Structure 1
Amino acid sequence: MTAGVAPSRIRWAILALLFFSTVLNYIDRQTLSILATTVQADLGMSDTDYAGVVQLFLIAYTIAYLGVGWVTDKLGPKLALAGFVAWWSIANMVTGLVNSVGQLGAARFALGLGEAGNYVAAPKTVSERFPAHERGFAVGVYTAGAMVGATIAPPLIGWLALVHGWRAAFFVTGALGFVWIAAWLLVHRKAPKVVVPESEVAEPKWPLRRILSDRAVWGLALARTLTDPVWYFYLFWFPKYLIDARGMTLLGVAATAWLVYVAADIGSIFGGGASGRLVKRGMRAPDARIRMMGVAACLAPIGALIAMQPAIPLTYVLAACVALAHMTFLVNLTTLAVDIFPQRQVGAIFGLIAAGSGVGGKLSDDPGRR
């Protein structure tokens, strides 16, 4: 076993659980967007109210990124991620109890504070448990969990709401997080202690001034700021757009929206795996990640054609292309950060980078401009 790399059986079990934590993360996040029209009618919310609730989630999500990285580096990803999952699971269950717009906003704010932790603890875990040529694939696998969650969410949430009511959908999906926590802690009982690579032991930790002045940190943060808002549309507004603007029913969206997220899964796994194959062929890991990001950036603009309101099948094809491109880009951006920054500080540094995601979401979805 090389330093910092877990035995194969253990690290793939850990990766499987990272995949499932991300599945749950996105199911809990998507529950409100799928039920937006239903919840709005029950609570007497306008579209502006709904946009404000989304904003509260994004504000909390952004704020949390500035702190969850430091927590993850301090506690280690095992304990940190267990705590993050517990927090957001409780917040999602509480959403099923709300009776006003203010209560809904508070619950989603709490959800955002917890959910950000998944996307810092996961790359930190990959940096500790996987060698460079496997990291792109590993990041792709757990990132695909987001799209599996988004794929499962429409039929699951739609069925729960239609059969048991919208409040039950929040209770059931939130409770699943505690099953995951038990499995996560059990697997780590058999995992070896993480060993910091010798090359990093001699290197001093980066002081905050160096982190804040590093061009790569700001460049990757800017990339998240500019690209993640595109994906936020598909997360928070696409199901509602299909219902309100294109005349689809909740049942119709529940039966078909998963197609977009399957395309995103393909981008996650094959986009991450492709850069890993380039590394195995001798290309420098950072260069391989950047090449795949460039390919994805060339494909994504095709989604602008959706504004012309083509037929529903073509709308789905265009959305699927954007989803595939975005997740290829995101997986390789995440892996690039894991490659180039010190393992001991991946959590804190990646948290700052990921905060750019929330900033972009806030700027692009400001209800004050509606």
Structure 2
Amino acid sequence: MTAVPTVPQHPTGTTEATGRDRRRAWTVTVLLVVFMMVNFADKSVLGLAADEIRADLHLSATQFGLVNSAFFLLFSVAAVVVGLAADQMSPKRLLLVMAALWSVAQVPAAIGGGFAVLVASRLLLGAAEGPAFPVAQQATLAWFPDHRRNLPGALITLGVTLGVIISAPGLSWVIQHHGWRAALWVLVAIGAIWAAAWAALGADGRHRPATAAGDRPEKTRAAVPYRRIFASRTWIGATLAYFTSYWTVALMLAWLPSYLRNGLGYSAHEAGTVVIAPWTIGAFVLLAQAGITGRLMRRGVDSRRARGWVGGWILVLGAVCCLALPLADGTTAKTVLIALGFGFGGSYATIAATTVAELAPPSREGGALGTMNAVVTAAGLAAPALVGALVDAQGTDGYQSSVLLSGVLLAAGAAASFLLIDPARDITRLPG
């Protein structure tokens, strides 16, 4: 049996894509980039309004951390359930329902209420947004063969960073001038507009990539049980590495604006601008990674090195910057290290998604990606609550402690990426 082909070839059982199909593929991709932008604007709003919410609702740092953690309580469960459903149902319909629920979920907190209403609202929003990334990746990758998946996969992940980069200054302005509940109403409206656009222009891809082994038909690979995929070293390595990366993403969303204001002395307006720095760096890292990985694979380099090793070095750079924070002297130096550490450290998602999509048969992609996302986003459940406890216990020093912990985790994730990821090896060990 041979490894996944790394040279262009037409999918088994399909004809070459027409110009209309290519235009539709990129229309869907653009819509799903915007989908992820809305998703992460929803996630980031509480972090941007952290001080205002804590003052308005009289919350301790630990309580505010629990509010952010509540978002992820059903997030992981929903990612598994909907990810599995995506293997049997139309991703277009699932995405439409999810986007509509995003708007509905934020209405109670936008209207009023205290701590309990805010927790319930975030709980429902998390359940609706939990499957967003794996289903969006699956819906996008279904339009492209494996050797052309790096760019669209990276663009979907880029939507995450663009969502914060574009929304943070605007939402910060709304929060400062009209209150944090007004910012929720803005997000309700944006979610409804996207749902209407998707209902009109969205579509399910029918592409099926070539099999990982030229002599093994897809109908045989479809019989691979999920447990065999989850037990593979590649799935475990990608999931562990992505978990450590998502830990930094969760901290950026929930606590970075507060760290900039209370720990580094930025004003609310300045923090709303500076907070986009790691996301901007992450955007460049994502595009560079897609270009490097795509070039390596077109030259015949296997995924172990083109994805696993490239992803590992990204996490190493993030870890080094985070761990160097105590050595920095002054606000500017600390800001640069945090931006670089979180920018590199939070940029592993595309590597994880394309690696697992390569490993799993098309009929198992949704479940494999959804379950990975469920495990990974457990970091979002733990990180905000832990940082809140650190801040209550250590004061502003708790922020730096959380960055150092992120550096240690990123180093462990890099090791997993280097040592465990090898899709070609593990595909040959799956049944079929």
State the TM-score, normalized to the length of structure 1.
0.92
Q: Is the 8 A contact 1:268 1:324 kept in 2?
A: no
Q: Which residue among 290, 299, 320 is the counterpart of 2:339?
A: 320
Secondary structure class of the residue paired with 2:176: helix
Deviation at 1:207, TM superposition (A): 2.5
Q: Is the 8 A contact 1:140 1:273 kept in 2?
A: no
Q: Which residue of 2 aligns with 1:28?
A: 42
Q: Which residue of 2 aligns with 1:339?
A: 358
- With 153-162 and 322-331 compared, the bigger mean Cα shift is at 322-331
Asked whether 1:43 is paired with 2:62, we answer no
Q: Which residue among 234, 238, 249 is the counterpart of 1:220?
A: 238
Q: Which residue of 1 aligns with 2:164?
A: 150
Deviation at 1:212, TM superposition (A): 4.2
Asked whether 1:278 is paired with 2:289, we answer no
Q: Which residue of 2 aligns with 1:57?
A: 71
Q: Is the 8 A contact 1:286 1:336 kept in 2?
A: no
> Hey, what's the Cα distance between the residues in 2 that align with 1:53 and 1:108?
7
Q: Which residue of 2 aligns with 1:125?
A: 139
Deviation at 1:162, TM superposition (A): 2.4
Q: Which residue among 118, 126, 139 is the counterpart of 1:112?
A: 126
Q: Is the 8 A contact 1:65 1:355 kept in 2?
A: yes
Asked whether 1:238 is paired with 2:238, we answer no
TM alignment of 1:290-369, pairs within 5 A? 290-301=308-319, 302-307=321-326, 310-367=329-386
Q: Which residue of 1 aligns with 2:409?
A: none
Asked whether 1:257 is paired with 2:275, we answer yes
> Hey, what's the Cα distance between the residues in 2 that align with 1:23 and 1:4?
33
Q: Which residue among 174, 187, 193 is the counterpart of 2:201?
A: 187
TM alignment of 1:76-115, pairs within 5 A? 76-115=90-129
Deviation at 1:342, TM superposition (A): 0.9
Q: Is the 8 A contact 2:135 2:366 kept in 1?
A: yes
> Hey, what's the Cα distance between the residues in 1 that align with 2:208 and 2:264?
54
Deviation at 1:143, TM superposition (A): 0.8
Q: CA, structure 1 residues 94+270, in 2 after alignment: closer, same or farther (shift >3 Å)?
A: farther
Q: CA, structure 1 residues 231+342, in 2 after alignment: closer, same or farther (shift >3 Å)?
A: same
Q: CA, structure 1 residues 87+127, in 2 after alignment: closer, same or farther (shift >3 Å)?
A: same
Q: Which residue among 191, 202, 212 is the counterpart of 1:177?
A: 191
> Hey, what's the Cα distance between the residues in 1 that align with 2:187 and 2:24?
27
Residue identity in the other structure for 1:295: W
Q: Is the 8 A contact 2:103 2:188 kept in 1?
A: yes
Q: Is the 8 A contact 2:229 2:360 kept in 1?
A: no
Q: CA, structure 1 residues 60+24, in 2 after alignment: closer, same or farther (shift >3 Å)?
A: same
How big is each residue's C-alpha offset from its partner over 1:306-336, in whole Å with a ceiling of 9 and x where there is no partner? Answer: 3456433323321232234234422212111
How big is each residue's C-alpha offset from its partner over 1:245-270, in whole Å with a ceiling of 9 and x where there is no partner? Answer: 22222111113222221111111222
Q: Which residue of 1 aligns with 2:218?
A: 200
Residue identity in the other structure for 1:123: Q
Unaligned regions of 5+ residues in structure 2, if any?
A: 1-9, 212-216, 391-432
Secondary structure class of the residue paired with 1:74: coil
Residue identity in the other structure for 1:27: A
Deviation at 1:83, TM superposition (A): 1.2
How big is each residue's C-alpha offset from its partner over 1:166-201, in whole Å with a ceiling of 9 and x where there is no partner? Answer: 211001112211211222222236x76455767423
Deviation at 1:50, TM superposition (A): 0.2
Residue identity in the other structure for 1:49: Q
Q: Which residue of 1 aligns with 2:228?
A: 210
How big is each residue's C-alpha offset from its partner over 1:190-236, in whole Å with a ceiling of 9 and x where there is no partner? Answer: x7645576742343333344344333333322223333212221221
> Hey, what's the Cα distance between the residues in 1 that align with 2:222 and 2:29?
29
Deviation at 1:296, TM superposition (A): 0.6
Aligned residues, how many?
A: 369
- With 83-92 and 345-354 compared, the bigger mean Cα shift is at 83-92
> Hey, what's the Cα distance between the residues in 2 that align with 1:365 and 1:170?
20
Q: Is the 8 A contact 1:40 1:50 kept in 2?
A: yes
Q: CA, structure 1 residues 128+49, in 2 after alignment: closer, same or farther (shift >3 Å)?
A: same
Q: CA, structure 1 residues 310+64, in 2 after alignment: closer, same or farther (shift >3 Å)?
A: farther
> Hey, what's the Cα distance between the residues in 2 that align with 1:282 and 1:164?
55
Q: CA, structure 1 residues 303+5, in 2 after alignment: closer, same or farther (shift >3 Å)?
A: farther
Q: Is the 8 A contact 1:93 1:172 kept in 2?
A: no
> Hey, what's the Cα distance between the residues in 1 that align with 2:324 and 2:16?
45
- With 102-111 and 311-320 compared, the bigger mean Cα shift is at 311-320
Secondary structure class of the residue paired with 1:73: coil
Residue identity in the other structure for 1:215: R
Larger radius of gyration: 2
> Hey, what's the Cα distance between the residues in 2 that align with 1:69 and 1:360?
18
- Cα root mean square deviation, aligned: 2.3
Q: CA, structure 1 residues 357+279, in 2 after alignment: closer, same or farther (shift >3 Å)?
A: same
State the TM-score, normalized to the length of structure 2.
0.79
Unaligned regions of 5+ residues in structure 1, if any?
A: none
Secondary structure class of the residue paired with 2:348: helix
Secondary structure class of the residue paired with 1:267: helix
Q: CA, structure 1 residues 137+11, in 2 after alignment: closer, same or farther (shift >3 Å)?
A: same
Asked whether 1:75 is paired with 2:94, we answer no
